[in-house]
Structure formats: C-alpha cells, structure tokens
Chain A
Amino acid sequence: MELDEIKIKGYVTIWQGDGKNKKFIVKRAENRFVDAGLKGLVSALACSAIAVTAPSGISSWSYNPQIYLGSDTDISTTHEMNVLAAPIGIAPGTAPNTISGINRTNPSSGVWRTSFVAVWHAGNVSGTVGELGLYLRPFTEFAAGWVRNMGQNSYVYPLALVSRLSSADLDFSSFIIDTSKSITVQWTVEVSFA
C-alpha cells in the first residue's frame, strides 16, 4: 500500500426492480468529478469553523443530497459542468422518491467509504437514461482559515453537481427505463491510498 497519495473515487450501480425481479443495469461504473466537488474539498480543508446561534442552523454536504437522471447521450462531462445536460423531469430533474445514505465504513485497511442510495418508484420516471448526477452541498468559501458565523440566521449551502456519469463518455451504456419497475441508483464515494 503506497501512502504517498490519496485517491477519491466514485462508483455507480443501477438496478431495476427488487427481490427476485431485481435486474442490474450498471455495475460499479466510475463517475467523473466536476469542479464543485473538488473545490468543496479544498474549502473544507481550509475551513477553521462554522458557527450559528439558536434557533438557527447551517446545512452542508449531505443535507438533502440528490441524484438526478438525464437523457443526454452526446455531451461528455467537463470539469466546469454544473447541471445535467438534459434532466428527466423539470430541471434539475425528478427527485427520487427516497434517498438515503450509508454510514462511513472501513471495508479494508486504508479504504473508507460511504454511499448514497436513490429510489424512484415504478412509473415515476421514464425515457432514456444517458447521464446521472450526484448533487451535494459542498462548502464554497475559498480562503485559508475561513470562518462562517451566521449568528441567528440559518444558511443552507446550495445543491451542486459534484460528479456525473455519462454514456457519452462511455462510462455506461444508455438504457430505456422499464416503467413497470422501480429504479435504484447506488452512488459510492471511496477514499483510499493510491
């Protein structure tokens, strides 16, 4: 195990149906990160403190995260991309019926992981899936030692596309949603040594 580099990777698995009818569409396809995710991590490392006074709050990263589906099959992911090219549903996309997260795990030495799991009920989305995006609420400040003290004002960091999977990049093969079955997307983010 080489310790001189940390690698952050994202993997996407998609299936339709559940139980005996479960059919995998995409298995562990590698996502592509975009600027908001990378800059958010830099911002986190540079953050001294965030503070708030009751009854207010500050919400970030995994506060109401989202995964959206899109139909685009032509546009490759670029680092400055901040939305899906052709979301399914009204922009930024049709939200899943449920979205949950998995606690931090340490499946093997030097590997730390979490996952976001989104489920759309049967019939809630339709058409071709050619792109997907993981949206989180990364920090946005850019100064060494920044502090955000909101006092009695609440603040919610904006939802931002942090990574994308696209058929245009051959990350996966586009597919037509079977509207008779639920569709589930599991987006795993893994931090490990290179």
Chain B
Amino acid sequence: MDCGGVVRMSGITIKGYVTIRQADKVLAKCVRNHFVNGGLKGLISTLIHKNIQGTTTWYNWYSDWKIYIGSDVDTPTNVSQTALVTPIGAAPGTAPNINSASIKSGAVDGIWSIKYIATWNAGTVSGTLGEVALYMRAPDKSDFGWTVTSNYTPSTVMVSRLSSAGLDLSSFIIDEDVPLTVEWTVQLAFA
C-alpha cells in the first residue's frame, strides 16, 4: 500500500491561477482564483449528460469563453456570486480584443491544464482594476441522463473570480498607453 508523499488519486482537484501584465509590468503573478457555484454545478451536469439527438448543436464550456475585468474593491468573492460587481464597460464587461487558449497534457507531470489568455488593446479599457473573472458556457441541467433535442446554448456564466477585496491582488489603475493581458490557467490533477 502506498503511503505519504504519493498521489492517492482519491480525488481530482481543480485550481486556477491568474497572471496580469501591462507591457513588462507584472501586476499579479500566478494568483489563486476563487471558484463559484456556476463552475461546480456545471461539472456535475457534464457527468450526467446522456446524448444529443436530431439536428442539434450543444455549445459547451469553451464556446465563447471570456475574461472580464471590473473596478470593485469592496466585495470578496462568495460562492453564489454570478457576475462581476462593477464591470468595466457595459455588463458583463468590455470584451477583450484578442482571446487565445492552449491545452497542456499531464502525461509527464500529472498536471493537466488549459490556459486562457485575454488581451485588451491600449486605450480599450480604463479606470481601476479591482476584480477579474473567467466566464464559461457551463451546462446547467439537473436531470440524470439529460438529452439535447434542439440547440442547447447554456448561458456564459462566471466560474471563478479574483478580487482585491479578497486580497487576491492589489487593485491598480490601468495604464491606457499599453495593452492589458490576463492569463488564466485552470489546472486539473489527482489529489
């Protein structure tokens, strides 16, 4: 039997890390995010999905993912939160100009991850950055063996957030002369 120091595989853990940059300046480095209900319940919905039938498309987690930024500095993240408190731009926020993502295999080190990168061009957003959130198209079905028979496009919901009120990062004034980049890495591994 394996004891201390060995991965037991009794659970799967999901963690999120956020890095924020403006030009060469790193404003947050590998800071742990806080997840909310939207992500949790979506994972169970995925597990209990059965099939899609007919002429149908199921738009899934990755479809139209977004990172939004906000100016709130007073409200820590809580489990039932569904949106940024004070998004910068019209709610849910000003979308980034560029989105990209990559996926990493854990075949070697046991850590699987997806990295989401959002970039706002210089001058696109302004003001104080006090909160950041990752939004994904998490399914929200509760019936075991749920079936899709017509197009299913779940709402894009907030799955995790970083807040200065929760002391995840120090709020800062966006430098409008340079681009703003947020890298959000979601890691899955055995526990």
Contacts and interface: CB of A to CB of B under 8 A. Distances in A.
A50 B57 contact: yes
A55 interface: yes
Secondary structure type dominating chain B contacts: mixed
Size bracket of the A interface: 35 or more
B10 A6 contact: no
A37 interface: yes
B149 to A, nearest CB: 9
B55 A52 contact: yes
A22 interface: no
B41 A42 contact: no
Nearest to A169: B1
Contacts of A14: none
A30 interface: yes
A24 interface: no
Given A3-B79, A45-B61, A52-B55, A189 B44 contact: yes
B53 A52 contact: yes
Interface in B58-106: 58-63, 77-80, 101-103, 105-106
Nearest to B46: A44
A111 B59 CA distance: 25
A58 to B, nearest CB: 5
Nearest to A143: B103
B142 to A, nearest CB: 4
B15 A48 contact: no
Interface stretch (B32-40, B118-126, B169-177): B32-40
Contacts of B103: 42, 46, 142-144
A38 B191 CA distance: 11
Contact of A34 (B9, B14, B79, B189): B9
A41 B1 contact: no
Interface in A48-95: 48-63, 76-77, 79
A114 B104 CA distance: 28
Contacts of B63: 47-49
A46 B61 contact: yes
Contacts of A192: 40
A92 B186 CA distance: 34
A54 B55 contact: yes
Given A49-B63, A79-B190, A58 B52 contact: yes
B23 interface: no
B188 to A, nearest CB: 5
Contacts of B144: 62, 100-104, 114
Given A4-B34, A38-B190, A102-B144, A49 B60 contact: yes
Given A102-B144, A191-B44, A45 B55 contact: no
Nearest to A110: B79
14 contacts: A4-B34, A7-B191, A8-B12, A50-B58, A52-B55, A60-B49, A62-B145, A79-B110, A103-B48, A105-B142, A106-B41, A112-B43, A142-B103, A189-B47
Pick the 4 closest A-B CB pairs, nearest first: A101-B144, A3-B34, A47-B60, A59-B51
Interface of A: 1, 3-9, 30-34, 37-39, 41-42, 44-63, 76-77, 79, 100-106, 109-110, 112-114, 136, 142-146, 168-170, 189, 191-194
